[in-house]
Chain A
């Protein structure tokens, strides 16, 4: 039933200028479902997320977003972007705008919301991510964790139907990860669909309805979080999880993944 799915990606092949990264990936996300994607560096996780919102154009395959095929010719990209929210590893806030303006401007110029309504919404989403009182600060005056929460708020304010998060905490110090993960858990409980790339195992276990393990541009294994995290079928998945757990034990400060 296509209608049950907010996102269906079928047999996606994609890459960059002759360099193939995704080699036939199929991934489906139900409405309200939270899917976590894991996999070694370079396996194509970021490319997968970018392809889902056409920030990277697939070479072949089919993508259906909210019941509408977006891989056909002449698709309205703005409609795609209106339904999707994207949070990047490096926050990507606009450094020359205040926090408030970062959240208000996209609503005003993309969704054509009145400025007044947009400001109201901005306050609401900032409250949601636990960041009141920083409205007039500039992004670079905030901690990494705060910046990432502003990025989350900015995406939330656009009221997307599905949220894409690409390693939202991996650029953060361990003590700052927690605040962002808590925020995301809270948002997850509100029932918005999410496709999240993360290597935070505890978070994945708490939040995910399903875990997808990718390697070398294909899905190697997917299924129930407990099953994939504690009793994976494939040796590669097992190895990968072992390496993450080892790294976590060996270097609790490590934040580069």
Chain B
């Protein structure tokens, strides 16, 4: 069987893992987002201890391998009595990891909002929270959109790590095919193609959203 025939035969089976891959990606991205919000707020507007805590979190998470974080949660936590199933552990690891990156993305996006916006909100009597909610975040999300899409796409690829603890997503299915057919090259080539298509699709879709949410009259991003 040639490469082409192999792909025709096995690609659909591997591609079915996309649902799980996308589940992993979506849930961990969302978890990352909601966790990033307090991290950013604490980092930029919090009292000193909150600021330090937030910065340490970001540094530690970014300074350690995702795989080690996943193992800590899945294999490590049960020893202190906290046990998660593989799917939950994967989403937690990916999500809490992504939170650190998303926090950094939002931090620099917020830094890009002119000081005058904060002054205006303050002069109108907005509380810090209202300023964050109504003035800062809506603008920061738009500024951050390209980087957020990048993060989402990164998560699609990183979710492959979940295969190691038994989640049957794209990579795990490729494992099965490789073991069954003894044709590892073609099996993982199929996985690579599927990942590429997914990533491309989301990057492209994001450009559409970007155009849709662009602030009328705004130059650039």
Q: A: which residues have CB within 8 A of B?
A: 50, 53, 55, 77-78, 81-82, 84, 86, 88, 90, 92-96, 105-106, 109-111, 137-141, 154-155, 158
Partner of B125, one of A94, A110, A139, A140: A110
Cross-chain contact A140 with B215 (CB below 8 angstroms): yes
CB contacts between A and B, total, < 8 Å? 68
Q: A95-B215, A109-B130, A140-B215 are in contact. Are A81 and B125 (CB under 8 A)?
A: yes
Q: In the complex, which residue of chain B has the Cβ closest to the Cβ of A94? A: B135
Q: A95-B218, A140-B217, A141-B216 are in contact. Are A110 and B139 (CB under 8 A)?
A: no
* A200 shortest CB reach to chain B, Å: 22
Report the Cα distance A109→B128, complex, angstroms: 12
Contact digits for B113-128, partner A, Cβ 8 Å, 1 yes 0 no = 0001101111111110
Cross-chain contact A154 with B124 (CB below 8 angstroms): yes
A-B pairs, 7 with minimum CB distance: A140-B217, A81-B125, A92-B120, A86-B123, A110-B125, A138-B216, A106-B124
Q: A82-B125, A154-B124, A158-B124 are in contact. Are A138 and B116 (CB under 8 A)?
A: no
Q: In the complex, which residue of chain B has the Cβ closest to the Cβ of A81? A: B125
Question: Which residues does chain A contribute within 8 Å of B130, judged by CB atoms?
Answer: 109-110
Cross-chain contact A88 with B119 (CB below 8 angstroms): yes
Question: Which residues does chain A contribute within 8 Å of B134, judged by CB atoms?
Answer: 94, 105, 109
Cross-chain contact A92 with B217 (CB below 8 angstroms): no
Cross-chain contact A92 with B119 (CB below 8 angstroms): yes
Question: Which residues does chain B contribute within 8 Å of A88, judged by CB atoms?
Answer: 116, 119-120, 123
Question: Which residues does chain A contribute within 8 Å of B121, judged by CB atoms?
Answer: 94
* A135 shortest CB reach to chain B, Å: 14
Q: A92-B117, A94-B135 are in contact. Are A109 and B215 (CB under 8 A)?
A: no
Cross-chain contact B120 with A96 (CB below 8 angstroms): no
* B77 shortest CB reach to chain A, Å: 41
B138 contacts A by Cβ under 8 Å:
yes
The 11 sampled A-B contact pairs (Cβ below 8 Å) are: A55-B123, A81-B123, A82-B125, A94-B120, A95-B217, A106-B125, A109-B126, A110-B124, A138-B216, A140-B215, A141-B216
Question: Which residues does chain A contribute within 8 Å of B55, judged by CB atoms?
Answer: none
Report the Cα distance A92→B120, complex, angstroms: 6
Report the Cα distance A110→B217, complex, angstroms: 27
List residues 109-167 of chain B with CB under 8 A from any CB of chain A: 116-117, 119-127, 130, 134-135, 138-139, 142
Given contacts A106-B126, A110-B130, A138-B217, 10 further A-B contacts (CB under 8 A): A55-B123, A78-B127, A82-B125, A92-B120, A94-B135, A95-B217, A95-B218, A96-B142, A141-B216, A154-B124
Partner of B139, one of A95, A106, A141: A95
Question: Which residues does chain A contribute within 8 Å of B138, judged by CB atoms?
Answer: 96
